[in-house]
A = this chain, B = another copy of it.
């Protein structure tokens, strides 16, 4: 089944301890869409400026990604982010953010996209996420991401959104911030009690936790020695997870767990190079090979 993602498309500049790469393809929806495209067709809604290189659109379109919802704003500039990773590659500093066209991004979905049954609201202002959701009344599964900025500045809107969505993915520090509880097991349950039927807490190199009313589990990250650039790992996780769910066409507990594992594995590839470079080198069969490894790793 097709999967709709609404979120940012950006030009990133990334500094790691050994390398700097400027103006590479980034943004939550780019990583998400590419990651999901191993599993299903994807419909992307976002905005860019006149400085946006068409080759990036072509790259996305070369996968199973419908870019007809990627709007180029006349006179606008593309969202830009510059960040720097510290020595251990887990902590990063944001050096510069220029929201540009994304500042007033209030998506109007193309008519054909509104019947989408699987919807992902990438990180964005909760009020906007809500308006997107309202344009997809037939969605069977709506999952959102969020971030510290929105937890702090638009908490009420976020709490309203949580009552409407089926799932929320967020990272560990965001779960702590949202709930005020440092214990992630309690925090995960507390977020679930705010509304969503399931919650996924992403822990970066330490994997991800899943919470539903009847189930809680932790899956470790796949241990790759080649962490080159962690940017987009969480969005790739989300894309792999939602892509697999859309492919399977259901979100039974068993399917959700497999989806968590696929998300983990797409993310483990994504961090092995800058931007989408590593993902461009792999196909579904590489994911399935790593999945076999991962299952072996967790069996005893």
Contact = CB atoms under 8 A, between A and B. Distances in A.
Interface of A: 87-89, 176, 182-186, 189, 203, 205-207, 209, 216-221, 223-225, 227, 254, 257-258, 261, 295, 297-300
A94 to B, nearest CB: 20
B88 A182 contact: yes
Contacts of A299: 298-299
Contacts of A295: 300
A287 B53 CA distance: 57
B227 A223 contact: no
Max chain B Cβ within 10 angstroms of own Cβ: one of A182, A216, A223, A300: A300
B189 A225 contact: yes
B300 A257 contact: yes
Max chain B Cβ within 10 angstroms of own Cβ: one of A209, A225, A261, A295: A225
Given A182-B88, A185-B224, A223-B218, A261 B297 contact: no
A178 to B, nearest CB: 15
Contact of A258 (B186, B206, B220, B300): B300
B300 A88 contact: no
A224 to B, nearest CB: 7
Given A223-B216, A297-B217, A87 B182 contact: yes
Nearest to A205: B184
Contact of A185 (B88, B225, B300): B225
A214 B216 CA distance: 31
Contacts of A257: 300
Contacts of A219: 220, 298
Contacts of A205: 184
Given A203-B206, A209-B223, 16 more contacts: A87-B182, A183-B227, A184-B205, A184-B223, A185-B225, A186-B225, A206-B206, A216-B223, A218-B220, A218-B221, A218-B223, A219-B220, A257-B300, A258-B300, A261-B300, A298-B298
Contact of A183 (B176, B183, B217, B225): B225
Nearest to A218: B220
The 3 closest A-B pairs by CB, nearest first: A88-B182, A206-B206, A218-B220
Contacts of A224: 185
A88 B179 CA distance: 13
A221 B183 CA distance: 13
A176 B203 CA distance: 19
29 contacts: A87-B182, A88-B176, A89-B183, A183-B225, A183-B227, A184-B223, A185-B225, A189-B225, A203-B206, A206-B206, A206-B207, A207-B218, A207-B220, A209-B223, A216-B223, A217-B223, A217-B297, A217-B298, A218-B220, A218-B297, A219-B220, A220-B220, A257-B300, A258-B300, A261-B300, A295-B300, A298-B298, A298-B299, A299-B299
Max chain B Cβ within 10 angstroms of own Cβ: one of A88, A189, A216, A258: A88
